[in-house]
Chain A
Amino acid sequence: MSGTTRKRFGKFVVNFSLFLLILIWTVPTLGILVSSFRHRDAIATSGWWNVLPHREWQPVREIDPKAEGFDPDSVMEIEGATGTFEEFREGIESPDGKHRITWIGNKRIGRVEVQEQVWTVDWNFSLDNYKQVWGGQDFEFTKADGTVEIVPGDDMSRAFLNSLAVAIPSTVIPILIAAFAAYGFAWMRFPGRRGMFTMIVALLAIPLQIALVPILRDYKTLELNGTFLAIWLAHTGFGLSLATYLLYNFISGLPREMLESAFIDGASHFTVFTWLILPLSVPALASFAIFQFLWVWNDYLVALVFLGGNPEFELVTQRMAAIVGARGQDWHLLTAGAFISMALPLLVFFLLQRFFVRGLLAGSIKG
């Protein structure tokens, strides 16, 4: 093989194996994407892949077993096929192989179907799920005198706005604080450095639930409860250890020579940080921003505790919990709900993805 064909072949192998992996990774999501356009009863009774062409037994003729005088307690002969009741329930193929004779139902009110295998697709799509999730459900009340009153639900725009107001500062604030701290740990020497870093790694393991009670108590004293500041600070506190830890890894990996030359030029730590480190860390900052945004966006418990008590501040996650109903009877709406609530995080991912570019660092070393 010549060099170029080998290269081309290598590229093909890469593209093809990645395609296979992505297919496996995407099929579960594809499943609910398709389901989100299906009716509630269809979701519950047939697989989503029925939207693909498939072969199915469909009735061509019905026979009333009572009228024909079949005795289900003995061996019967129907349409040339012979068998017991149990065998007919499973379906018996007719002697010519074209049809299947199936007993549907029990011995009392059953019927017999002559079925044929045909190619079919199940394309009965609708936007109902999305309408209900976004526009809110209507509630029906029947008064004692029999009159029916319909109460319309709220749409989701308010919840979206609230979630944004919570998520953006809760993403940016911890990143900023963590970037400073990460620089401090990586490139400054001070007493207690090791101890503090140990603390940060250890705190990664703490389940945030243990902090809810003391923090809520402090908030009550400070009258912070139910404010945006309360929830930002909470998300900052809970996300900060991971942010510091991840950014430390990146910032400490920057080439030492580069910083040295900056210090020789008389730059202060603050200048080096703002004009050199921050721009260089953009890929790391962007990737952490995505994760923090996601966690905050999908958080339910922290918001309930610190923002709870104020129906004005309903978030997207709370709305999602509400649409499935008190006992989860409307879980099928989550198919559409998952996509609606996912739209924004995906947008953030697309926007930030352009920061993952090669050569930022390579260029700066040369210069």
Chain B
Amino acid sequence: MKRWFSILVLLLLVVFTLTACGNETATTEAPTAAPTKAPTEEPTKEAPDVDFAVMPGGFLEKALTGEYAGTTVTVDGAMEGNDPDGVKFDRGVAAFEEATGIDVNYIGNKEFEATISVRVDAGDAPDIADFPQPGKVTQYVQKGVVVDVTSWMSEEWLSQQYNQSWRDMATINGVEAGVFHRFNGKSLVWYPKDDWEAAGYAIPTTWDELMALNQQIADDGDTPWCIGIESGAATGWAATDWTEEMMLRTTSLENYDAWVAGTLPFDSPEVKNAIETWSALWFNDDYVFGGRSSIVSTYFGDSPAPMFEEPPKCWMHKQGNFITGFFPEGAKAGVDYGFFYFPPVDEAYGKPFLVAGDVMVMFNDRPEVKALMEYFTVPQSASGFLEGGGALAAHQTATPDMYGMDMERGIAELVAKATSFRFDGSDLMPGEVGAGSFWEQISSYVAGSIDLDTAVKEIDASWPRP
């Protein structure tokens, strides 16, 4: 017992001494925090030279004078702070931190969907959240916890920075819930460039040319397409992308928007026709590597691999520009692979482009948070992605010379040439559908366990009705 007691006393002593040290450091910290308030006394200071545009009369302008220096803004998101995208994000905001003295604390993680919901419910929302699926913002807008960006950003500024489509995509229930930061182009077809040229295939620009090419490649003994939609819990999302591409290519934009909003049911002839259009290609075993049965079970990231064998076993793969991260090590853009625009089906609907991207949503109304939101409206805020690859700037003020890589620049040019563009519909639909039944039912349909009529009826039934 005695020995125990002496150990306890020792333990207490250690804790005591360390606490004392701790308190000391804490008290010495205090004065350094105080002067941050001081600059408010001096009215206007010369703003430093920055290489990004600043909204006149906004909070960023004030922040540049050092008014909010020493404050911290927390940003949550779906990428880990230490993964490549997290590092690219940090790089983008570095210029802001340096110019304003505001610290941007990125705390994102892979369980974003759950943690953001928990944080908001517990009243501990991050200042800003980076949502990869704007559809998920709806529940927070309904709760009234999201700050409308038009409440302080001028109409003029927003329409100068963004194409109207981007602003429409960020508007939920009449609230402009956030500003877009970066995006991925989806209407892209990847092909093995050097072998393609050696084989003498031509890049198709119309649907008829594409179908002729399919048959030609099949006649030559190969399967034209590599398709895989397996993705763990998210299996099926790649098939929803194809559905959206076809919706844009076989019917009007009004119908697309109505479909995304839930007023045009999946069970309508337009949507069924869109799904059947890609089904004709997918379910033809001569056209898909491994045949229909392998589509559901092939991991989307592994699916383009046969395209890189020497010689290729398949020749085309449709996917967003992030897919290059999955290509084999050492595959060179412009040599081993290239991309072209996924051709339109019906010329009447122009050259639509499907995109998906990240929207920045503000939860806490503080001046330094607003300053960062304003910064997100300029393309320099995405510079990490523009220089490191993987995403494009959503701003119409972004110029080709901001991109470090030819490929991203090329995609940006393709997007600029598009006659219209729309956001990934499944990402805009309510979670039950866009991240639930749509994936699930379309996977079952591709797997062949249910027919199309059953699938679309199930999806319609799952749509949440108030």
Contacts and interface: CB of A to CB of B under 8 A. Distances in A.
Interface of A: 39-41, 44-45, 72, 85-86, 89, 104-111, 136-137, 139-144, 146, 149, 151, 153-154, 209, 212-214, 216-217, 220, 225, 300-301, 304-305, 308-311, 314, 318-319, 321-329, 331
A326 B384 CA distance: 14
Instruction: Please name the 3 residue pairs, one residue from A and one from B, whose CB atoms are nearest each other, closest first.
Output: A142-B404, A105-B311, A322-B80
A213 B124 CA distance: 10
Contact of A139 (B118, B301, B311, B388): B388
Given A213-B121, A326-B84, A106 B115 contact: no
Nearest to A72: B221
Interface in B40-76: 74
A137 B87 CA distance: 11
A45 B217 contact: no
Interface in B103-135: 105-107, 109-111, 114-115, 118-119, 121-124, 126
27 contacts: A40-B328, A41-B329, A44-B305, A106-B220, A106-B221, A106-B222, A107-B219, A108-B200, A109-B199, A139-B84, A149-B387, A209-B114, A213-B118, A214-B122, A220-B124, A300-B109, A300-B110, A300-B111, A301-B111, A304-B109, A311-B107, A323-B83, A324-B83, A326-B80, A326-B322, A327-B325, A329-B325
B119 A109 contact: no
Contact of A44 (B106, B110, B114, B302): B302
Given A108-B220, A110-B221, A143-B404, A325 B124 contact: no
Given A109-B195, A300-B111, A304-B115, A327 B87 contact: no
Interface in B188-230: 195, 198-200, 217, 219-222
B155 interface: no
A83 B392 CA distance: 51
A143 B387 contact: yes
B382 interface: no
Nearest to A324: B83
Interface string B387-410: 111000000000001111100000
A34 to B, nearest CB: 19
A340 to B, nearest CB: 15
Contacts of A109: 195, 198-199, 311
- Interface residue range, chain B: 35 or more
A142 B405 contact: yes
A314 B326 contact: no
A144 B401 contact: yes
A139 B222 contact: no
A322 B329 contact: no
A106 B82 contact: no
Nearest to B223: A106
Contact of B85 (A301, A305, A314, A325): A325
Nearest to A314: B82
A141 B384 contact: yes
Contact of A216 (B80, B111, B119, B401): B119
Nearest to B222: A106
B97 to A, nearest CB: 14
B83 A85 contact: no
Contacts of B106: 311
A348 B107 CA distance: 30
Contacts of A110: 221, 311
Contacts of B118: 212-213, 216, 305
B121 A107 contact: no
Contacts of B88: 139
Nearest to A141: B387
B136 interface: no
B430 interface: no
Contacts of B302: 44
A225 B124 contact: yes
B107 A137 contact: no
Nearest to B112: A304
B91 interface: yes
Given A110-B311, A213-B122, A326 B85 contact: yes
B80 A318 contact: yes
A234 to B, nearest CB: 12
A39 B330 CA distance: 13
Given A220-B124, A225-B124, A142 B387 contact: yes
A321 B221 contact: no
B344 interface: no
Contact of A141 (B82, B124, B404): B404
A301 to B, nearest CB: 6
B236 interface: no
Nearest to A211: B118
B87 A151 contact: yes
A141 B123 contact: no
Contacts of B126: 309
A141 B384 CA distance: 7
B79 A144 contact: no
Contacts of B265: none
B81 interface: yes
A271 B322 CA distance: 65
Contacts of B311: 104-106, 109-111
Interface string B304-316: 0100000110000
Contacts of A108: 198-200, 220
B357 interface: no
A86 B301 CA distance: 29
Contacts of A301: 111, 114-115
A364 B49 CA distance: 80
